[in-house]
Amino acid sequence: MTWRGRPRTMSNSNRCRPKRSRRKPRRNPRVNDTGTTVPHEETRIMRKTLWSRTLLLAALALSLLGPARAQQEVDLGLGKMWPFESIPADYFEKHHGFVPTQEWLDAVRLASIRFGSGCSSSFVSPKGLVMTNHHCVRDFIAKACPPDQDWVKNGFLAKRLEDEVPLEGLTVQQLVGMEDITEAMNAGITPEDSVDTIAAKRQANEEKILQKAGEEHPDLTARTVKLYQGGKFELYLYKVFTDLRLVCSPHLQTSHFGGDPDNFTYPRFGIDFTFCRAYEDGKPVDSSAYYFKFDPEGAEEGESVFVTGNPGRTERLLTYAQLEYKRDVELPMILDIIDTRLATMRARAQASEEAEKQLRPGILGLENAQKAYRGYWAGVKDAELMAKKKAAEAELRRRVNADPKLAKLYGDAWDALAKVADQKRTLTPSLRYHRTLGIPLISRAMAVLDAVNEKLSEEARSEAASKATRGDAHLEGGRLAAVATNLEVARRWLGSDDAYIQALFGNAEKAESALRGLEKRSRLGDAAFVQGLIEKGAGAVAASDDPALVAARALRAAIDRNKQLQPEVAAAENVHKARIGQAVFALFGTSVSPDATGTLRLSDGKVRGFPYNGTIAPWFTTFYGLYGRNVAFGNKHPFDLPEPWLANKDKIDLSRPVDFVATNDIIGGNSGSPVIDKDRHVVGLVFDGNIEMLANNFFYRGDIPRSVNVHPAAIMEALTKIYGAWRLVAELLGQD
């Protein structure tokens, strides 16, 4: 642990210790808490009345479908990631005996902040203290760390306020305003409009909306949000805090205990937390009107808990045909890319200790992505999940076709998307692998084509001519092996009959042989020859049978085709996805959850274990398990513990919880989300999900998938017994 500032000496009698008292009885959640500070006026910008909107949407659905059909339940697998502007009151009453008041929702929304570009966090003190996961901030910690120290590996603690370290480039965003802009986004669009026309009109409408929002609220950041794939649109306004400073982070092995083997699993023993502080005008942000109180005792088994964060993206409204495309093309292709990059980075990291330090955050990120995408791919290869998706889609189409108006508007959208999915089976590999693939001779050949292209400006042609003779065109050693790997993967996805692949391979069977053969047969490695060819002009270049130029012409043709086809396919996909979203919204309104969009959501759940491996996973793990796992693996990485955790083991209450699970609906982007109770107390910190959770990206199932959360007792044990972070403990407990 790295210390900043003078140690604060405190006797045992006056240190701040978490109380081990019984939890207080709950207040009636229907009654407004008179002790709650009313959110400041800024939070009411453009906000519509929640219940009036919900009632209006329900009325529209009922008028369209009739009471019996509107009430009939159907499992579309859409989950429970509820936008704050449309919380389903009846659902919460039924499942939790609790209906969030508008005051409760406002307070929770303002305390929940988006962290950086892909995580979640929350205010947990009146002085701008922000809690999130270590893995969400470690890249920024690495950049802020002095060259002679390693704060990511060894941890950091600011003993005084003035010792808190700026994290350059990091921001947090607070959602302060919401407005339904569906009508404005669809203004001027008619059923007779073509796909391209609809896309163009919607883009123009969006630009007008954002321009107006920028003029009316210059101090806020505006974002349009597409819900139900475009069935509904919202304008969100954010207050952005740009001065974030590091307060406390644990050792990497405290947060990342178990490493990649334990990632997306449970039982789990990671204590993945970090505290930062938001500043404004050089002072800690006054968050006294919106923060969560920290409850070191956490939640109880069976208790209702709520995750409030920014889930990145789910794809539960995709059609069956679209999921087949993902199963067969997109996901395995992404895994190919991740596997290749990870192997390359691991090899580079072995060069030196400094290289390992610099590459460590990237490697950890790729390892996480690799396991996540393997889980996604397993989901769409799961016959049971795909069967449920097919049944849900059939029922949805039946309901649409049963209503003449809906059938006319949306009935053929699924068939249109099946056509799009079929087009993407060839388009996606082409977009990815119709590239130079790191082959210097192909880069030169492409530059030669540009140098004689009369459609380009004289300046562009001159730059291309210069590029065509620069650099070394020869491949050898590790560089040759890496490019050969790229070429083999490209052949696998483009096919051996692809013109570009045929030109590159010739009669060779192996990629490395093809690359060596290309160098022998092509004259483009000779800068003088290249210069002379360019001077002869476009005719000479077009007539050349140099194998690198033959391959480049095939590549250029593929790129030109893609430039025309990609926007057409993307526009068609977006329009028809929106039609399905509109159909779902017309049938069910806000009684079903929209897909995640990287924006703030409230997910409800229960603290509960689950069956696994023929036994039962307990709802919480303990320090007994943490140290037991460490011993079972001989303190070897990734099950090793930092020295302070071994030296201070006798101080730890081994019976205290470390992690726990709950049935909340989460996905990537929820990392750092607070888990709160009905009284808006923090009772956990989301940092992962079990492996079964990953398939929920495509179809939600609530039986076994779980959020995996750090228990607040574990954070307190770490802060008090290992790190001596008494200033921070006092602030969390309101005793400062």
CATH number, domain with residue 165? 2.40.10.120
CB-CB neighbours of 472 under 10 Å: 9
Q: What is the pLDDT of residue 344?
A: 87
Considering the domain architecture, whether residues 497 and 635 belong to the same structural domain is answered as no
Tell me which long-range contacts 182-191 makes (C-beta under 8 A, separation of at least 24). 182/232, 182/233, 184/208, 184/209, 184/233, 185/209, 185/224, 185/233, 186/233, 191/409
Q: Find out whether 689 and 632 touch, Cβ atoms under 8 Å.
A: no
Where in 26-88 does DSSP place strands (E)?
82-83
Considering the domain architecture, whether residues 606 and 624 belong to the same structural domain is answered as yes
Please give the structure tokens belonging to residue 249: 């982070």
Q: What is the extent of the structural domain holding 266?
A: 2-31+73-171+242-316+595-732
Q: What is the pLDDT of residue 15?
A: 38
Considering the domain architecture, whether residues 555 and 504 belong to the same structural domain is answered as yes
| Count: domains in the chain | 4
Considering the domain architecture, whether residues 44 and 83 belong to the same structural domain is answered as no
Q: Is the dihedral of CA 666, 672, 673, 677 positive or negative?
A: positive
CB-CB neighbours of 203 under 10 Å: 12
Considering the domain architecture, whether residues 19 and 163 belong to the same structural domain is answered as yes
Query: Which of 386, 408, 430 represents a domain boundary (last residue)?
Result: 408
How many angstroms separate the CA atoms of 734 and 327, rounded?
A: 50
Cα 705 to the center of its chain, rounded Å: 18
For the chain, which ranges sit under pLDDT 70?
1-73
Radius of gyration for the chain, computed over Cα atoms and rounded to the nearest angstrom: 28
Q: What is the pLDDT of residue 73?
A: 63
Query: Which of 351, 375, 408 represents a domain boundary (last residue)?
Result: 408
Q: Which residues pair with 306 in a beta bridge?
A: 604, 676
Please give the structure tokens belonging to residue 457: 């400006």
Considering the domain architecture, whether residues 212 and 311 belong to the same structural domain is answered as no
Query: Which of 359, 390, 408 represents a domain boundary (last residue)?
Result: 408
Considering the domain architecture, whether residues 139 and 98 belong to the same structural domain is answered as yes
Considering the domain architecture, whether residues 606 and 652 belong to the same structural domain is answered as yes
DSSP notation for 345-398: HHHHHTT-HHHHHHHHHHHHHHHHHHHHHHHHHHHHT-HHHHHHHHHHHHHHHH
Considering the domain architecture, whether residues 673 and 621 belong to the same structural domain is answered as yes
Considering the domain architecture, whether residues 550 and 503 belong to the same structural domain is answered as yes
Residue with tokens 């490493």: 259
pTM, 2 dp: 0.85
Considering the domain architecture, whether residues 606 and 675 belong to the same structural domain is answered as yes
Q: Find out whether 199 and 185 touch, Cβ atoms under 8 Å.
A: no
The string of pLDDT tens digits covering residues 365-417 is: 899 899 999 999 999 999 999 999 999 999 999 999 999 999 999 999 999 99
Residue 612: enclosing H or E segment and its boundaries?
strand 610-612
Please give the structure tokens belonging to residue 714: 């574990």
Considering the domain architecture, whether residues 428 and 388 belong to the same structural domain is answered as no
Q: Find out whether 521 and 476 touch, Cβ atoms under 8 Å.
A: no
Q: What is the pLDDT of residue 9?
A: 32
